[in-house]
C-alpha cells in the first residue's frame, strides 16, 4: 500500500502540528513494515532552542517519529483509520543515535513489526538521512480507546 499523503496520515493518527512528525508514507505492508518520511525544516519549533548555533533534531523526537510511523502501520493494518483509537508507547529499548539530523533533510523512517498480540505490538525502527543511519530503536506500543472526556 502507499504512498499516503498527509491527509491519510492524519486520518490514521491523532497527532497535529507541532507534534505530527510523519509527512508521507512511501510504502506500507500491513502487519509487516512501513517506510515513511519526515521533511526536517528549519521552521521546526524545537530548533529555536536545540541548538541555536547548530540546530539538531532531538533524539527523542526521532524516536517519536518512528513511533508515529508504527502507529500508522498498526492502525492501517487493523482497519482502524478514523476510529479515534490511540497508539501508546509502552517501552523503548536499546535506542541508539548514530548521526545528527539537521534542517533541510528528508528523514526516512523504516519500521518493521516484529511481534503482534491483540492490541500490543513490538517494532524495530531505523531512521536514515540518505543512506546514513541516524537512529535505531526497538519499542512496544498498544492500541487503546481515547480517554473519556
Q: Which domain holds residue 105?
A: 6-144
For 57, 103, 114, the CA distances from 48, given in Å and listed in that order, are 11, 12, 36
CATH code of the domain containing 57: 3.10.129.10
Q: Which pTM does this prediction carry?
A: 0.95
In a domain, 1, yes or no: no
Query: Does residue 33 form part of some domain?
Result: yes
For the chain, what is the domain count? Answer: 1
Whole-angstrom Cα distance, residue 25 to residue 6? 8
Q: Residue 37 domain-assigned?
A: yes
Task: Kindly compute the dihedral angle of the four CA atoms of residues 143, 21, 62, 25, in this order, to the nearest 10 degrees.
Answer: 80
Pick the catalytic residue: 14, 50, 86, 100? 50
Residues 6 or more apart whose CB falls under 8 angstroms from that of 147 comprise none
| Catalytic residue list contains 50 | yes
* 70 falls within a domain: yes
Is residue 97 assigned to a domain?
yes
pLDDT-derived band at 39, boundaries 50, 70, 90: very high
Task: Give SS3 for 30.
Answer: coil
CA distance 124 to 133: 14
The answer as to whether 149 is a domain residue is: no
Domain annotation covers residue 131: yes
What's the number of CA atoms in the CB half-sphere (13 Å) around residue 126?
9
For the stretch 51-63, pLDDT in tens is 989 999 999 999 9
Per residue in 105-141, pLDDT (tens digit) is 999 999 999 999 888 999 999 999 999 999 999 999 9
Residue 88 lies in a domain: yes
Beta carbons within 8 Å of 122's beta carbon, 6+ residues apart: 113, 114, 115, 116, 138, 139, 140
CA-to-CA separations, 102 to 13, 17, 56, in angstroms, rounded: 25, 19, 5
> What's the pLDDT band for 80 if we cut at 50, 70, 90?
confident
Q: Phi and psi of 121, rounded to 5°?
A: -135, 155
The answer, yes or no, to whether the previous bond of 18 is cis (omega within 30 of 0) is: yes
Amino acid at each position: 500500500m502507499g504512498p499516503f499523503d498527509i491527509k491519510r496520515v492524519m486520518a490514521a493518527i491523532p497527532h497535529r502540528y507541532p507534534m505530527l512528525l510523519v509527512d508521507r508514507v512511501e510504502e506500507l505492508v500491513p502487519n509487516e513494515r512501513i517506510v515513511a518520511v519526515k521533511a526536517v525544516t528549519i521552521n521546526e519549533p524545537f530548533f529555536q532552542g536545540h541548538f541555536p548555533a547548530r540546530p539538531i533534531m532531538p533524539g527523542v523526537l526521532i524516536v517519536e517519529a518512528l513511533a508515529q510511523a508504527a502507529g500508522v502501520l498498526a492502525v492501517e493494518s487493523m482497519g482502524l483509520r478514523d476510529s479515534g483509537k490511540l497508539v501508546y508507547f509502552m517501552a523503548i529499548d536499546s535506542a541508539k543515535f548514530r548521526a545528527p539530523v539537521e534542517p533541510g533533510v528528508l528523514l526516512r523512517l523504516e519500521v518493521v513489526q516484529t511481534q503482534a498480540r491483540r492490541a500490543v505490538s513490538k517494532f524495530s525502527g531505523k531512521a536514515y538521512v540518505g543512506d546514513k543511519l541516524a537512529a535505531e530503536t526497538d519499542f512496544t506500543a498498544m492500541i487503546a480507546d481515547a480517554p473519556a472526556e
